[in-house]
Structure 1
Amino acid sequence: MITLKGPSLFVAQFMGDSAPFDTLDHLAEWAAGLGYKALQLPCDPRLFDLQQLASSQAYADDIGGRLDRHGLVISELSTHLQGQLIAVHPAYDTLFDAFAPRALRGDPGARRQWATEQVALAARASGRLGLSAHATFSGSLAWPYLYPWPQRPQGLVELAFEELGKRWRPLLDAFDRHGVDVCFELHPGEDLHDGISFERFLDVVDQHPRAKLLYDPSHLHLQQIDYLVFIDHYHARIGAFHVKDAEFRPDGRQGVYGGYGDWISRAGRFRSLGDGQIDFKAIFSRLAANDYAGWATLEWECCLKHPEAGAREGARFIDEHIIHVAQHAFDDFARSAVDQAQLSQILGLGGER
């Protein structure tokens, strides 16, 4: 069995204009002081130059060295925002324009081309950094038609996934050339949001070996998916892990959809680690039993707790939940050394074979 790695911290929610959240070096020093061993880094120009990281081994070595000075490594790079722009339904054009450079806003074609190039650069950059996994979103063409009312035209979902596959297949091949898995975070708003949609995607990319999952139990719990059985189904495809808590408390007024309330008043809410309902002891046990070898990465999102408190508590929480797996069976002390003949004798097969 394999002991998974951690704790790692996804820094996207912590980046800001003032120290210690304003630069990669400041973030690294702060995170290391809390006990983190790795950072999951969004491909954001405030942290590094993605073009240079993809093209220069010296620059990649420098980025890695800056983290190493604080006792940290990079767990994965992330292109959640760029991945989202690979596929955007026109209903969301205005809102998602904010994810693209200002010069490209209002031009969906140019925005998509930029996003595709960014994800391809991330494949090369991940290879230069020696990473084995990458975190991203799939984007969405069919999401506005999630609920079949008005009735969906026949073939609409099939066409959406066929197109999604065409857009991602070259990128999956690019990551494959660099030995990196593409781990899609299943998330409401993405066409890949549950197990069934992920299976549909695998079908249109010919079961591509680099198409993997970023396992985040919070998004599954808020959809009321059994997030433990999910591991049983898809453990071979889990390549990254966001440790994020959530709670779902429906009542006589709202449920899974949550109405139009803000986060604090929704039936389903994200919480800091240990404050929600997710059974992390069971999750870490199932991942250990299935030889998950990647990182356990805190993604902090909570409608109540201060982020710095969540980060501080999260490092300790993950460290305490990592199962340092046994290297031999607990009853090996009682093992008996027997040969094939003795095995047959034990079963009473001596005169029957």
Structure 2
Amino acid sequence: MARPVTLFTGQWADLPIETMCQKAKQFGYDGLELCTWGDHMEIAKADQAYCDNRKELLNKYDLQLFTISTHLDGQCVCDPIDRRHKSIASPHVWGDGDPEGVRQRAAEEMVKTAEVAKRLGVDTVAGFTGSPIWHLLYSFPPVSPEMIEEGYADFARRWKPILDEYQSLGVKFALEAHPTEIAFDIHTAHLALKALDYHPAFGFNYDPSHFGYQHVDYVRFIYEFADRIFHVHMKDVYWSDVPTGVGVFGGHMEFGDNRRYWNFRSLGRGKIQFENIVRALNDIGYNGPLSVEWEDSGMNREAGAAEACEFVKKIDFAPSDVAFDDAMQKE
């Protein structure tokens, strides 16, 4: 049996939750991955009655729930806080904007999110961690190894207590490895795991689009972290085959500008080889949802989301339970 196909609601948080359910059902999805902004999953309000109401609403539209996602407040746990974060943090997390206060409140919000996941009956929270050292990516002025080590130590100091709470609740945290996060490729993912002493509650929300334009081997990532792939985002990306005026760093241009070297695209319209991803997921025994994170600045999102659902259902397949040549074997 193929995996359920869900729709991540982060790019749809301008719509009320019931409207989102109606549209997802119309598009053909099996479920939703609810974001923790807009009114889709409000952590501050999410007592047991609220969570039961959300489950009833999803059941009304025959939609499943496997994961909730906390990318925005999660980003604030480790980042150097500036005015950009005010636009993404929950108002109570931002508070007076004092950087360390924001980080501490974001950490508390991460624990509350795990508690909400438990009330909802799901065992995975996807999101971002932030990074104290992303701004050191390009090593000039020179960046010493000690500065990088200090960054990973700070990440571990802030996230280990959070992850301990996740483990006690039976919930896992799945970092979406992504530029601006503590892990953004294969090497940094290994560094993050090592810094956390391979905490059992920490793994990855696998999204190939963030690796493709970096020229990171996105299929190899699946095999290297086979026991840490807790959730999967399906998202496509296009990058140019010829030199462009703007490189991989984006040239301070907004997403969607056609002068960029790369842009996210609706599934099947970029360069990610999803056939190889499905085969790798089968190899590692991943049976969770395939969650469409729809992003394409040049395409109508409703048409794109419907098309993406159809694409994923067509490309996904269950692994074989027999060797194809067994019937040729003689006793």
TM-score bracket, shorter-length normalisation: over 0.9
Correspondence for 2:84? 95
Deviation of 1:33 (Å): 1.2
Q: Does structure 1 residue 106 correspond to structure 2 residue 97?
A: yes
How far apart are residue 335 of structure 1 and its match?
5.1
Q: Cα distance 1:191–1:4, how it changes in 2: closer, same or farther (>3 A)?
A: farther
1:13 matched residue in structure 2: 11
1:131 alignment partner in structure 2: 122
Larger radius of gyration between Structure 1 and Structure 2: 1
Aligned to 1:257, which of 249, 253, 278? 249
Normalised by the size of structure 1, how large is the TM-score?
A: 0.87
- Cα deviation per residue 1:276-308 (whole Å; 9 max; x = unaligned)? 011011111111121111110110111211111
Question: For structure 1, which runs of at least 5 residues remain unmatched after alignment?
Answer: 338-353
Q: Deviations over 1:209-234 (max 9, x none)?
A: 11111111110011110111222212
**Correspondence for 2:20 among 24, 27, 30:** 27
Instruction: Show the counterpart of 2:285.
Output: 291
Task: Determine whether 1:322 maps to 2:313.
Answer: no
- Cα 1:332–1:118 change in 2 (3 A) is same
Correspondence 1:1-353 to 2 at 5 A: 3=1, 5-16=3-14, 21=15, 23-44=16-37, 46-53=39-46, 55-56=47-48, 58-90=49-81, 93-102=82-91, 104-249=95-240, 250-251=242-243, 253-263=245-255, 264=257, 265-334=259-328
**Contact kept in structure 2, 1:14 and 1:307, CA below 8 Å:** no
- For 1:26, give the aligned amino acid: T
Kindly provide the amino acid, as one letter, of the partner of residue 231 in structure 1: I
Residues of 2 paired with 1:45 and 1:255: CA distance?
33
Provide closer, same or farther for how the CA distance between residues 160 and 6 of structure 1 changes in structure 2, counting only shifts above 3 A.
Answer: same
Aligned partner of 1:34: which letter? F
User: Alignment partner of 1:5: what SS?
Assistant: coil
> How far apart, CA to CA, are the structure 2 residues paired with 1:122 and 1:94?
24
* Alignment root-mean-square deviation, CA: 1.8
TM-superposed CA distance for 1:324, in Å, is 2.5
Superimposed CA distance per residue, residues 139-160 of structure 1 (whole angstroms, 9 cap, x where no aligned partner): 0110111011110145111111
Q: 2: distance between equivalents of 1:254 and 1:48?
A: 37
Q: 1:11·1:42 contact (CA, 8 Å) conserved in 2? A: yes
What letter is aligned with 2:28? G
Letter in 2 for 1:13: Q
Question: CA shift at 1:187, angstroms?
Answer: 1.0
Question: Could you tell me whether the CA contact under 8 Å between 1:221 and 1:227 is conserved in 2?
Answer: yes
The 3 A distance-change label for structure 1 pair 39 and 252 is: closer
| Cα 1:98–1:118 shift into 2, 3 Å | same
SS at match of 2:130: coil
Q: C-alpha displacement at 1:63, in angstroms?
A: 1.3
Give the distance between the partners of 2:171 and 2:120, measured in 1 at CA: 11
Partner amino acid, structure 2, of 1:193: F
- Contact persistence 2:177–2:206 (CA under 8 A): yes
| Structure 2 CA distance for partners of 1:64 and 1:292, relative to 1, 3 Å | same
Tell whether the 8 Å contact from 2:186 to 2:216 is kept in structure 1 after alignment.
no
Deviation at 1:334, TM superposition (A): 4.5
Percent identity among equivalent residues? 31
Letter in 2 for 1:148: S
Distance of 2:127 and 2:253 partners within structure 1: 27
* Shift in Å, 1:184: 0.3
Point out the more displaced range, 271-280 or 222-231.
222-231
Superposition deviation, residue 94 in structure 1 = 1.0
> Partner of 2:87: helix, strand, or coil?
helix
The separation in 2 between residues aligned to 1:225 and 1:251, in whole angstroms, is 18
1:86 partner amino acid: V
Where 2:225 maps in the other structure, the secondary structure is: helix
In 2, the alpha carbon distance for the partners of 1:44 and 1:139 equals 17
Contact 2:235/2:295 (<8 A) preserved: yes
Q: Is the 8 A contact 1:6 1:322 kept in 2?
A: no
Kindly provide the amino acid, as one letter, of the partner of residue 6 in structure 2: S
The Cα shift of 1:333 comes to 3.4
* Paired letter, 2:304: G
